[in-house]
Structure 1
Amino acid sequence: MIEEGEEDNFCHKRIFHYVLKAVKQFIDLVNQIGSCSVRKNVSHTTAIKFLYARKFDVPRAVSLYEQHEQIRLKECLYNIDPDVEPLRSELETGKFTILSARDSSGAAIALFTANKHSPLCVTHTTTLQGIVYQLDVALQNTETQKAGLVFIYDMSGSKYSNFDYDLSQKILTLLKGGYPARLKKVLIVTAPLWFKAPFKILRLFVREKLRERVFTVSVPTLSLHVPRQALPRYLGGTLEIDHSTWLLHCYKSMTNREDELLANIGHQPSSNNLQTGTIITTNNTTITTATTTPVSTDFVGSGDQGVIDGAVVAETNDNNLPDTTAPLSEFWSENPPSSASSGFSDDDSLAGAEGDPKTIEQIVQMVKERGRQGLFKEYADIRSRAPEGTFIHAKMRNNLTKNRYTDVLCYDHSRVVLSQDTEDLSDYINANFVDGYKQKNAYISTQGPLPKTSHDFWRMIWEQHCLVIVMTTRVLERGRVKCGQYWEPAEESSSEFGHFHVRTISIESNEDYTVASLEIKNFKTEEIRNVSHWQFTSWPDYGVPSSALAMLNFLQKVRDKQAQMVKSLGDTWAGHPRGPPIVVHCSAGIGRTGTFITLDICISRLEDVGTADIRGTVEKIRSQRAYSIQMPDQYVFCHLALIEYALSRGMLQSVDLEGFDDRDDDSDLI
């Protein structure tokens, strides 16, 4: 019987043998093909880099190597000398740099700042040399080899004169399949309107699999992809960029860069032996081959280095080694790329998070058994729980006056963070992201804007790329102002809020709701976008609607409009299929807003898998937007509305709720 320690050692040796044979096969295949490379030999370290980039699938790694060499030759990316002009000046611009921090998965972060690029003043070759020179240094780190690369293309403050289509295509071509580092994400920050057309074409040059990893994001949403501590301050983070120190590190590392040194040297170690000091890392196992020479710490990177006792080349025997023609997938673990607009997977959303899902028949039975008072008690239990977060930003002195109600604050952990505006250094707005069904950050729950926060409201709409606004209150109710007039209620009228011009193009009035088509112009960027504004007007001053059908019809039309507008974005939207967050507000942003969102989530789940859990959904929403579902009647309404929806869709033939208490009409919904 094999002991646990012996079994681990056996597995480590097996991995080592796989890697060793893959390296040998890679070098042999490259030599047989007769690459066009100026290199006369391929080192084992080079082989490891390309094998890592293709998960040790030897044929794919060789194909990557061939394309890489062709690009280097075509673009003159060999024998790069950082001391020679114009490359020296190009490097000092800082337009391209590798950040000193990593993303949450350990990937290195490369940043290209578009407004620092002047196409008329520098050649493609010089710019590409500067990029490859720095990428080569970054890739000396084994953590980067393993975790890959995140590429941020920052278009903030850039003009059309800064954009170089051909260069962008060359960079994408290099990164998508001609460089030995796995490209985890491409984040295009603050893409201007004129970028829409070239972006559609550029996406055609990217493999379909990689296309899912290309995101157009605003500065505030960038932190959903990369931790704030890993982002520079002007991109909403806390990191200080020290490009000069990075360049010094690059220069010092030249002595360790075998690819440059060996480009025209004929002598190489025998392909039968791994280069002294080679470090191989697979999953959590790090294998160091027999070595008598110290290994450069720049190459090794951080982390403990494990050594397999006796796992030296002399032990290996090709006749006893496993076949490595198949990828080394059984030893490889990697989180799949996200398809959500926010950079999160469906597993992070409300889907499946509810604690007690029930079929619609079971929900009917539960409602009948508990009655109104029973649901009231259930709601009281939910409401009695203390908030699950802090309100530090909402309570800051400068932010207190931005809250419509002093007792309705927004959580820190889920709040919508605005970009740092030059006119207002605060990034605060009383708004929270709320997850939907199989969609992270599907909604933004927010209060009805105050006159002084209307500019912040439109900043949020713009920065989050929102397409649809749902308003579930009137501006005035029972003589009280419930919400500021942040848009013009008459056609062809307009208002200005900060640097946004909001024009009402058309208004469609219905019995239960009003739809306004709005045009938003950003004076700073000269961009124009369209937003659809949906105001539900049939919610009575007191209580809840007597029938849910009007609300259910309204909800469906909102969903249809969101889907239509997302479709019109075409390839410019690379996020979740359901699109950017839908903004939902009433007066405080918790009562009617929470009711609307709860119904939307429960209906989506009921349609998808045939079950729903209203209580679990409400509890989850309240963990993201404090105090959501403000009154017991709203909680009851969610149950009755879901049943009414099921009846209208033929999921139920009939419902008998005899004995269910009459509704009390003494609650004031904010």
Structure 2
Amino acid sequence: MAVALSPDQELATKAFLDALSESGAACVSRATAVKFLLARKFDVARAHALWRQHEATRRREGLTKFEPFEDPLKSELETGKFTILPARDATGAAIAVFTANKHFPAQTTHQITLQGVVYQLDAALQSADTQRAGLVFVYDMTDSKYTNFDYELSQKILTMLKGGYPAKLKKVLIVTAPLWFKAPFRILRLFVREKLRERVHTVSAPQLSAHVPRAALPAQLGGLLQPDHAAWLEHCRLCYTAALQSGKLEGAADDYVITNHIPPAKPQNGIIHNGSSDMSGDNGTAMHISESPYTCEPSPLRHTHSYNGDTNSMKSRHINSGDEDDLDISTGRTWSDAEQSPALSDDECSGGGAALAPAALLARARALRRRGLVAEYEEIRARPPAGTFHHAKLPANLAKNRYTDVLCYDHSRVVLSQADPNDPSSDYINANYVDGYKQKNAFICTQGPLPKTYADFWRMVWEQHSLVIVMTTRAVERGRVKCGQYWPAAGRAVHGHLAVTARSVVQREHATVSLLTLTNLQTNESRPIWHGQYTCWPDYGVPGGGRAAPVLEFLAMVRRAQADATAQLGDKWVGHSRGPPIIVHCSAGIGRTGTFLTLDICLSRLEAEGVADVRGTVERVRAQRAHSIQMPDQYVFCHLAVIEYAVMQGYLESADWTGFDDDDEADAESE
């Protein structure tokens, strides 16, 4: 399927082909040219450099002549150690899986293994969607041994994908890495720049669903997909023979399109998705089940925003989900540092509002006044949910929800390991991932634990490697229990196979900080946990008098705790530089919790860019944790707090709120 190009992109394509012709390169098709240009955002010089590196890599590694229907390559392909799944992640990226326990370095060569990888990638890259959205590379180390690992091969594959192949490497997910892998991985990370390191994640099998929808993962990785590797190889054969018949090995006439629509899945937790009906996708939208996992309609480009150079205004544009910094692994150069304008990545919280400088945000809030902001909030709250709640509504899970009307979305829920092999519902907890500022899954929003879910809560803390817990409620408020005492005030408490020990408790004016130790009784491994409880925030409301300073001080305390805990991990942590998810809860996990997240995201962006987008942030948070920001006053408080912080930090000299709380009658008199 040909990629539709704009006039500017057509000119870039012609310039690219002309440059190749002038350099004496062999005749290259337009389709091939577009692949390289898409991989470098239609920068002709960079695309030309990628082409040269790609050609050099193919010659150096013996990837110029393939015999896929003859041994040894035929046997290599049939092992299934490397395959492309017939589904995509939430961003539209194709998913490649390398299963380490099927690789035996002594039985094959680097050349044959790389040929098997490239042969399949070439077929996958016939898809226009894959060219736009890129590739997620899953390195499955489950049940692998040291004899399965080939350090040099791993480095060659990573180097090729980042600097010598026309596909955008969106993410590398290393699943169930054994202890012996830590040392070689630490060395391997030295070869890549920091921004690429942030895309390399070592995850457990349960954590994998935070990066790739469960419905797009094979059963071996805890998913619902049952890919047919033989069918995929047959498709590769058709692509290859079509290319041979047309006289080229790239740019085959019939594009291979990995479905963006998840194939029919087996029942999970009692939910049966009929192959002939629609099902909810990872982003909460309906996904049509395609009859064939290898042929379906391509999805449209995702919609996002980018700056036009004015920090107070934004312009919409269509980009592919891979529109990130391109890293040349050989030079370590970050291309976009010098050549790209600032862009909102998928990791950044943005929504339907406009990012405003503090002065503009203050002017807008004063113009709308309290009742205008309340009306704006009511418009946001009136929108239907952005997803489904199937798992939260299962009979086996209903009792795990503190409130019957506060459920967690399916598409962003935290999936626990299955504690009971005979109970599929044992993977459920009322908790959702929420993105932070330029950080996927920066937070986990959850309800105040119930006595019956204490063990599930601590299991989530352990499995998500979280080190900081934020509690914005008291255990009892207005005579009602709002949250159980799930952590010990002193001594030790055991929940399942995890023990929680209180090391110290410090009482502050507005908060109580407890330092805890979480110990896995099965492995004897222990981790420090920082638990911060804000004690002056009423339910359904905002801090006393609407003053934000105490909350802002508490937020700063949480940030320091997270930074210190992440720094202490050192090389043990290979994820995002800001560390593992911070767990935040109140009673329901939506009102005060959503307000806390909104403030953190807005203030982080204000510090980094000098602008904030309260409305857009609230919309984004609500799309991941339903009903976040529960009351109008909380929405208003977010605006007031951001502006108060701007004054405290010198972005504004002062903020005049005269008339902000005037009612309609007062307005009429003044007019």
CA distance, structure 2, for counterparts of residue 9 and residue 176 of structure 1: 26
State which of 180, 183, 197 in structure 1 corresponds to 2:183: 197
> In the TM superposition, what is the alpha-carbon distance from 1:143 to its structure 2 partner?
1.1
TM-score normalised to the size of structure 1?
Answer: 0.68
Counterpart of 2:583 in structure 1 is 583
Counterpart of 1:405 in structure 2 is 403
CA separation of 1:213 and 1:641: change in aligned 2, threshold 3 A: closer
Letter in 1 for 2:532: W
Deviations 1:93-142 (A, max 9, x none): 5333333445577765331223445x6xx517447624523532442565
In the TM superposition, 1:484-503 aligns within 5 A as 484-490=484-490, 493-497=492-496, 499-503=497-501
Structure 1, unaligned runs of 5 or more: 1-7, 30-41, 259-268, 284-299, 305-332, 663-670
Letter in 2 for 1:136: Y
State which of 133, 136, 139 in structure 1 corresponds to 2:122: 139
Deviations 1:510-543 (A, max 9, x none): 3332333344455677765443221223336896
> In the TM superposition, what is the alpha-carbon distance from 1:69 to its structure 2 partner?
2.9
Counterpart of 2:428 in structure 1 is 428
TM-score normalised to the size of structure 2?
Answer: 0.68
Contact 2:350 2:617 in 1 (8 A): no
CA distance, structure 1, for counterparts of residue 516 and residue 95 of structure 2: 38
With a CA cutoff of 8 Å and minimum separation of 6, indicate the structure with the bigger relative contact order. Answer: 1
CA distance, structure 1, for counterparts of residue 478 and residue 206 of structure 2: 37
> Secondary structure in 1 aligned to 2:393?
coil
> Secondary structure in 1 aligned to 2:598?
helix
CA distance, structure 1, for counterparts of residue 378 and residue 204 of structure 2: 39
Total equivalences in the alignment: 571
> Secondary structure in 2 aligned to 1:97?
strand
Contact 1:391 1:411 in 2 (8 A): yes
CA distance, structure 1, for counterparts of residue 608 and residue 575 of structure 2: 21
Matched, 1:112 2:98: yes
> In the TM superposition, what is the alpha-carbon distance from 1:398 to its structure 2 partner?
1.7
Contact 2:54 2:165 in 1 (8 A): yes
CA distance, structure 2, for counterparts of residue 458 and residue 660 of structure 1: 43
State which of 65, 69, 81 in structure 1 corresponds to 2:59: 69
CA distance, structure 2, for counterparts of residue 362 and residue 48 of structure 1: 47
State which of 72, 82, 97 in structure 1 corresponds to 2:83: 97
> Secondary structure in 1 aligned to 2:154?
helix
Counterpart of 1:450 in structure 2 is 450
Counterpart of 1:328 in structure 2 is none
CA distance, structure 2, for counterparts of residue 515 and residue 534 of structure 1: 5
> Secondary structure in 2 aligned to 1:346?
coil
Letter in 2 for 1:71: E
> In the TM superposition, what is the alpha-carbon distance from 1:203 to its structure 2 partner?
1.6
Letter in 2 for 1:205: F
> In the TM superposition, what is the alpha-carbon distance from 1:83 to its structure 2 partner?
6.7
Contact 1:347 1:438 in 2 (8 A): yes
Deviations 1:421-475 (A, max 9, x none): 5444134321223344454443222101123323332343344443321011233
CA distance, structure 1, for counterparts of residue 54 and residue 80 of structure 2: 28
CA distance, structure 2, for counterparts of residue 141 and residue 597 of structure 1: 39
CA distance, structure 2, for counterparts of residue 563 and residue 508 of structure 1: 19
Contact 1:439 1:576 in 2 (8 A): yes
> Secondary structure in 2 aligned to 1:205?
coil
Counterpart of 1:292 in structure 2 is none
In the TM superposition, 1:157-236 aligns within 5 A as 157-158=143-144, 162-173=148-159, 175-177=161-163, 183-192=169-178, 195-206=181-192, 210-211=196-197, 213-219=199-205, 222-223=208-209, 225-226=211-212, 228-236=214-222
CA separation of 1:97 and 1:406: change in aligned 2, threshold 3 A: same
CA separation of 1:443 and 1:277: change in aligned 2, threshold 3 A: closer
Contact 1:95 1:114 in 2 (8 A): yes
Counterpart of 1:317 in structure 2 is none
Structure 2, unaligned runs of 5 or more: 256-293, 299-318, 327-342, 664-671
Counterpart of 1:594 in structure 2 is 594
> Secondary structure in 2 aligned to 1:559?
helix
CA separation of 1:90 and 1:500: change in aligned 2, threshold 3 A: farther
CA distance, structure 2, for counterparts of residue 338 and residue 485 of structure 1: 43
Contact 1:80 1:133 in 2 (8 A): no
> Secondary structure in 2 aligned to 1:239?
coil
CA separation of 1:618 and 1:389: change in aligned 2, threshold 3 A: same
CA distance, structure 1, for counterparts of residue 542 and residue 393 of structure 2: 31
Across the aligned residues of Structure 1 and Structure 2, the Cα RMSD in angstroms comes to: 5.1
**Identity rate of aligned residues, in percent?**
53
CA distance, structure 1, for counterparts of residue 48 and residue 539 of structure 2: 69
